[in-house]
Amino acid sequence: QVQLVQSGAEVKKPGASVKISCKASGYSFEKYGMNWVRQAPGQSLEWMGWIHPGNGNTYYSEKLQGRVTIASDTSATTVSMEVSSLTFEDTAVYYCARLWGSLYFDSWGQGTLVTVSP
Amino acid sequence: QSALTQPPSASGSPGQSVTISCTGTNSDVGAYDYVSWYQQHPGKAPKFIIYGVNKRPSGVPDRFSGSKSGNTASLTVSGLQAEDEADYYCSSYGGKNIFVFGTGTRVTVL
């Protein structure tokens, strides 16, 4: 079965960067895109961007373009996501989500809490 | 890309139906039949429950149904059960490999 296992919680200071990973198993890794979605405390889901591991193409939300970098390692079946220049507003749970049919988020990781604190 | 608009809350008694709207624009919901819905219980990851406006993934009860008219999509939960109490989010493809989520609706089973 599809499994997405994310790295553990992080605490960072404002201005720092954070890198989160998502280890995929149970399917053909290169055939499906991987998205990152975040959820600030008590807030809605926010789509951040995605990568197609098969060709390395990346796509980002306009709001986060330039501050977010998504990469994949096909040998490790792992996708990573780095956010730079962190502010308090980046405090959130970050989820990876597989892109099924190039259109839908059918499997999700367990989430990684990133706390930005002075 | 602005978030799709959903009502903050909706409620119904067990056995009743509740319908949640999701309003976008003619660049996302109105332009494509690629609307999906997700259920999220507190502290959990979202769960995929509707795709392609009105299709259910395997294992999702047929109490969940979807529709769309113009720039507004809707999710209906029929025969409400206690376990349906959760947050619900719509999502739409926005063209050029971009996606957008809704603002979310908390469903309460009275």
pLDDT score at B59: 96
Question: Given A61, A103, A110, which is nearest B93 (Cβ)?
Answer: A103
Say how far apart CA A5 and CA A110 lie, in whole Å: 7
Residue B68 is predicted with a pLDDT of: 98
- Helix, strand or coil for residue A89? helix
Residue A15: Cβ within 10 Å count: 10
Residue B21 has pLDDT above 90, yes or no: yes
Give the bridge partners for A82, in sequence order: A19, A69
| Residues contacting residue A61 through CB under 8 Å, at least 6 positions apart | A46, A47, A48, A49, A68, B1, B98
**What average pLDDT does this structure show over B69-76?**
98
Pairing, β B72-77 against β B18-23: antiparallel
Substitution target in B48, B58, B88 with the highest count of A β-carbons within 10 Å is B48
Residue B51, pLDDT score: 98
**Residue among B45, B52, B102 whose CB faces A44 most closely:** B102
Mean pLDDT over B75-79 rounds to 98
Contact A59, A48 (CB under 8 A): no
Q: What is the pLDDT of residue B6?
A: 98
Q: Which chain A residues have any C-beta within 8 angstroms of a chain B C-beta?
A: 35, 37, 44-47, 50, 59, 61-62, 95, 97, 100-101, 103-111
**Confidence check: pLDDT of B23 > 90:** yes
Tokens 């507190």 found at: B42
Region A82-104 average pLDDT: 97
Tokens 């990152």, located at residue: A36
**Span A89-96, average pLDDT:** 98
SS3 B100: strand
Report yes or no: A109 and A22 within 8 Å, Cβ to Cβ: yes
Tokens 């903050």: give the residue.
B8
Residue B100 clears pLDDT 90, i.e. is over it = yes
Q: What is the pLDDT of residue B1?
A: 82
Q: What is the pLDDT of residue A85?
A: 98
State residue A20's pLDDT score: 98
Residue pointed to by tokens 């059960």 = B81
Task: Provide mean pLDDT across the span A46-66.
Answer: 96
Average pLDDT, chain A: 97
Residue A96: pLDDT band (50, 70, 90) is very high
- In the beta sheet, which residues pair with residue B64? B77
Question: Buried b vs exposed e over A70-103: b needs ≥16 C-beta within 10 Å?
Answer: bebeeeebbbbbebeebeeebbbbbbbbbbbeeb
Does B7 touch chain A if contact means CB atoms closer than 8 Å? no
C-alpha of A53 from chain center: 13
For chain A, say whether B21 makes contact (Cβ under 8 Å): no
Minimum-distance CB partner of B99 among A47, A101, A108: A47
